[in-house]
Amino acid sequence: MTDPKQERSRATRQRLLETTIRCLAEHGWEVSTVGFIAAEAGISRGAVQHHFRTREALILGALEHMFEERAALLDALPDPESGPDRIHTVVTGLVEAIGGELFRAALQVWTVAAADPELRSAVVPLERRFARGVHRRAVRLLRVNDSDPEMRGLIQATLDLARGLALADVLTDDSHRRARVVRAWSTQLAAALAAAGAAPSR
């Protein structure tokens, strides 16, 4: 039987992490103090510090939660059957999963970490672990031979494209241009994979 107290504690922590992500994405690093996040979450400052002793610990906890959420989004992407639009469906899914609120929140942390060596030393391993996970999922969905340097380059180009499009969408709604870019790259990628025999029908 689940301990009600432990269940409430888990629920509080989850709400706190989700609120931290939303605050970072919507209000930025400077505004997202412990007090502000606590008020937005409807949690006392003391309750926040019960879970996270410092603001940095809270932010890092939220960042790790962000990466887990984005990994879950990638895991939930459909693995479409073969067809002319299969590559486009996969690339669209990668772009959508990497962007959005989670990307905007992470961007706030990365910007501060770039000038804060202590924060950067904590963020970089998390980011590398997430990047490796995204790469593995892209390889699975695109059905490529990851030992081939050319295929690895195409995967990396796809993921860099997804991050670039997410960045372009931070200030304005770039959805129409994004759709055109995704379609154009998907066509090029499908041709390259077909030429290399990396995307067999099955």
The pair of structure tokens assigned to 26 is 């919507």
What CATH number has the domain bearing residue 157?
1.10.357.10
The secondary structure of residue 81, as a DSSP letter, is P
Domain count, the chain: 1
6 C-beta neighbours (distance < 10 Å), count: 9
CA 13 to chain CA centroid, Å, is 20
**What sign has the CA pseudo-torsion 40, 41, 44, 45?**
negative
Helix axes 175-196, 149-168, angle to 10 degrees: 180
Give just the sign of the alpha carbon dihedral 137, 138, 140, 145. negative
Q: Is residue 144 part of a domain?
A: yes
Residue written as tokens 């919507």? 26
Is 72 inside a domain boundary?
yes
Give, for all 202 residues of the chain, the pLDDT tens digit: 557 888 888 899 999 999 999 999 999 999 999 999 999 999 999 889 889 999 989 999 998 888 888 888 888 877 777 766 889 999 998 998 888 888 999 999 999 999 999 999 999 998 898 889 899 999 998 888 888 999 999 999 999 999 999 999 888 887 888 999 999 999 999 999 888 765 443 3
Task: Say if 201 falls within a structural domain.
Answer: no
Place of tokens 């999922």: 137
**Structural domain containing residue 132:** 4-196
Find tokens 């961007």 and name the residue.
Answer: 107
Q: With respect to residue 146, please indicate whether it lies within any of the assigned structural domains.
A: yes
